Structure 1
Amino acid sequence: MTEVFKFGGASVKDAEGIKNLARIVKLNKDKQLLVVISAMGKTTNALEELTNAYVNQQEDIHQIFERIKEYHESIMMQLFEDPGHPVFDDIANSFVEIDWILEEEPHEDYDYIYDQIVSLGELVSTKIVSTYLDHIGIKNKWLDARSFIHTDNTYREGQVNWTKTEAAIQAKVSPILMDRVVITQGFIGGTSENFTTTLGREGSDYTAAIFASCLKAAAVTIWKDVPGVLNADPKLFPDTIKYEELSYRDALEMTYYGATVIHPKTIKPLQNSGIPLLVKPFLAPEENGTKITESNVFITEPAIIVKKNQVLVTISTKDLAFITEEHLCEIYGLLAQAHVKTNTMQLSAISFSLGFDWDERKFTKLSSLLRDNYAFKYNAGLTLITVRHYKPDVLKKLVDGKTVLLEQLSRHTAQLVVKL
């Protein structure tokens, strides 16, 4: 049976990372493998910077773009050494697609522009990896994910047409896997008009789940720079522990609340198909990592998820009337129009508070939509701390020295919006 491997940007950030990916593929040479790969290192961030510079018509557009090209050329020189290798022309031609965009006046739809530019990171990284695997004798086929992941026209948040996607993958990908490794991109999809969409930031995990579900794969392995799924971010908490096993339910909850080790949409397609998800360290592929299945394992160590750069908005009617179901219905409609996803919320008699990731464009749009019928105030630069299977002493320690602006406790989950 097929297995799906997903390698994120950290695992292909340099030539050594790509060589390590090749070693992992060789270790699994007896399997039918489909490999999903993200953009290299911080390329997505750099392409976002380029997109914003282009939209705002900044003077440093071409300097930003040159840095991106030089970064990839440096990696290719270390992998292939010969500057006459065909891969250099292939990648240069790929970058020309962005040159064409930059020569035009910016399209009025920012999200559309974003997807056309930022998606190139995955296309370039997979071409380099595929060529390197060929170079060292690993037979593989590069596939353009946009021909298989069919979405609607919701740019930056493409909604997958599962019927078309499954038909395309089963008809065209399955036969190739019989005799070679398949290399494809995470994060990106295509519309019926052949425009590029993306599946949401960090969406490569979701891509792996889509391919796995459609191929009825035996397992999905996400290769990370951590030993597995930890109970907290090791950069913020020195005494983290690794979960050996998690249930789909707990993994879903953790990703929903912002655990960055797995994309939030990844779990459900795998749960529906009963496909195990493994999270393993790419520098120690022999280790077990964390296994996520339909298990009844109980978490005893609280999971702590920290999301920074939050904004807390408190909404009330202009006449300070009670917040009714009709008001909530209208407010949620406005949130949908502004493409704002809430991370936490709380209702009182005359106000409704909600927290979400700061995004200046979305916040500006939501503000303009609210202004007609509602009064509102907000605080930005906040941090949301979510604790699954919380304990009182853990919460007390987490808020020590901080100002708590919102606290929400349920049976298993505590959420705290704090000001540092």
Structure 2
Amino acid sequence: MQNSHSLKAYKFGGASVKDAAAIRNLVRVVQEQGAGSSLLIVVSAMGKTTNALEEIFQLAYAGQDYTTHVTQLTDFHRGVARELLPEQTGNVLGHTPNEPSLNQLLEQLSDRLATLTSGDFDKQYDQVVSFGELLATRIVASALKAQWLDCRHLIRTDHAWREGRVDWPTTERIIATTLPPLLTQGPIVTQGFIGGTASGLTTTLGREGSDYTAAILAYCLQAESVTIWKDVAGLLNADPKIFQNTVRYPEISYQETIEMAYYGASVIHPKTIKPLAVRQIPLYVKSFLDPTAEGTKIHDCQHGLLAPAFIRKVNQCLVSFESRDFAFISEENLEVIFGALAQARLKINLMQNSAISFSICADFSEHRLEKLLEALRDQFTIHYNTGLELYTIKNYDAASIQQLTSSRELLLEQRTRQTFQFVCRG
């Protein structure tokens, strides 16, 4: 296998590839910071492309006209390609038969949209929305003059659409066999967020799953490190777009980061840390705007009390189940509710029970919520609110609680030794 101590995995998110200028900056970061190392570069969709593809998919699935949106998406990617590579027409950008051109990928997207049916929503979602990463990496690989590799052939998953579960033995065998010889020939660019089934269908790993992709690849190759390049100075105690006076953590433990990610911290995908912790691979969070700055090192370490972390999750729904006959909510009731939640694939972010009711806060999905209601409305009286926000304070103190709750109407709150959470209206 490739010498693990010379291999680094870099992950660049949507903000770092949002336009031609951003991609030029990515090229500089790779050339200056990655000099002397073998590089595996994982790239997300450009800017808000995933949101645009979701909108296109929704329109196509509903049988509505989506052509204007596809034209805008196509023109955007071709325009960036032409600006970066004026000697090419934007429809080349493919070096070998195994590397489809930009035009070929756009044609494949159009074909997918034209053949949508009223069938499995999540399965078809994956086949369409995954094109954001394919298009972005085609352009970035050309700008870097690097090898382009289709991650759908590397990361093997099951059929859990939109939240593909990794088949680790198969994935490790494929990656350990395929990548080391290619890495000796120069940097590799591949997609975050996506994988593939044994039958060749595309899966996605969950929104913001490109971090997880980098961790999977690093684990399988026993890489020296993973670096996530962001538009912030490192891992902060809060999102600076929402909260003022944020604090950067110079270093933080795997365990603390896992908990922050679980509660919804936007910097790291929740599944990213485990494979890195197992192999003791450090994770760096650095700024592509200031690549020489210190950033944050996430590793196996001990540290004192950290500054309170503030985490906000939007687009939440609060669902309450009440027994119809005023009987206590029993273990049998909870078994039924949890089974329906698993079938609807609604992820619980917070839960609380009283004598005759049980409440959960979850990411809102109209499609999944309706599936849950259909399964349980005959057995329980169900009330729900949408358009809510969930706030979490990790390592809270009295001042941090007062700061967030003073002007808000709390619909539900919960406190443990280190964590304070509440649900409120958006």
- When normalised by structure 1's length, the TM-score is 0.96
Match of 2:397 among 357, 379, 391: 391
Match of 1:364 among 339, 361, 370: 370
- Cα distance between partner residues in 2 of 1:175 and 1:81: 32
Say if 1:43 and 1:121, in contact at 8 Å, map to a contact too: yes
- Cα distance between partner residues in 2 of 1:389 and 1:188: 34
1:84: which partner in 2? Answer: 89
Match of 1:13 among 7, 11, 18: 18
- Cα distance between partner residues in 2 of 1:239 and 1:40: 29
Say if 2:82 and 2:89, in contact at 8 Å, map to a contact too: no
- Cα distance between partner residues in 2 of 1:72 and 1:222: 23
**Residues 1:109 and 2:117 aligned together:** no
Match of 2:294 among 288, 297, 314: 288
Moved more, 319-328 or 98-107: 98-107
Letter in 2 for 1:148: L
**Residues 1:161 and 2:167 aligned together:** yes
**Residues 1:99 and 2:105 aligned together:** no
**Residues 1:212 and 2:223 aligned together:** no
Letter in 1 for 2:129: V
The change in CA–CA distance for 1:3 and 1:310 in structure 2 (over 3 A counts) is same
2:235: which partner in 1? Answer: 229
1:23: which partner in 2? Answer: 28
After superposition, the C-alpha distances for 1:11-30 in whole angstroms (9 at most, x for unaligned) are 00011111111111111120
Match of 2:57 among 21, 41, 51: 51
The change in CA–CA distance for 1:97 and 1:171 in structure 2 (over 3 A counts) is same
**Residues 1:248 and 2:254 aligned together:** yes
Give the secondary structure class of the aligned counterpart of 1:81: coil
2:272: which partner in 1? Answer: 266
Letter in 1 for 2:159: N
Say if 2:40 and 2:188, in contact at 8 Å, map to a contact too: yes
- Cα distance between partner residues in 2 of 1:55 and 1:298: 51
**Residues 1:402 and 2:390 aligned together:** no
Q: Using the TM superposition, give the Cα deviation of residue 328 of structure 1 relative to its aligned residue in structure 2, in angstroms.
A: 1.0
The aligned runs of 1:38-77 (5 Å cut-off) are 38-59=44-65, 61-77=66-82
- When normalised by structure 2's length, the TM-score is 0.95
After superposition, the C-alpha distances for 1:118-156 in whole angstroms (9 at most, x for unaligned) are 11111111111111112xxxxx22111011100011111
- Cα distance between partner residues in 1 of 2:116 and 2:416: 50
Where do 5+ consecutive residues of structure 2 fail to align? 95-99
Match of 2:360 among 339, 345, 354: 354
After superposition, the C-alpha distances for 1:176-228 in whole angstroms (9 at most, x for unaligned) are 11231111100000101100000011100000000000000111000000001
1:326: which partner in 2? Answer: 332
Q: Using the TM superposition, give the Cα deviation of residue 399 of structure 1 relative to its aligned residue in structure 2, in angstroms.
A: 0.8
Moved more, 94-103 or 155-164: 94-103
Percent of aligned pairs with the same amino acid = 47
1:180: which partner in 2? Answer: 186
Letter in 2 for 1:242: R
Give the secondary structure class of the aligned counterpart of 1:87: coil
The change in CA–CA distance for 1:177 and 1:355 in structure 2 (over 3 A counts) is same
Say if 1:54 and 1:106, in contact at 8 Å, map to a contact too: no
Letter in 2 for 1:93: Q
- Cα distance between partner residues in 2 of 1:244 and 1:330: 45
Q: Over aligned residues, Cα RMSD in angstroms?
A: 1.3
2:40: which partner in 1? Answer: 34
- The aligned length equals 414
Q: Using the TM superposition, give the Cα deviation of residue 83 of structure 1 relative to its aligned residue in structure 2, in angstroms.
A: 4.8
Give the secondary structure class of the aligned counterpart of 1:319: coil
Q: Using the TM superposition, give the Cα deviation of residue 107 of structure 1 relative to its aligned residue in structure 2, in angstroms.
A: 4.6
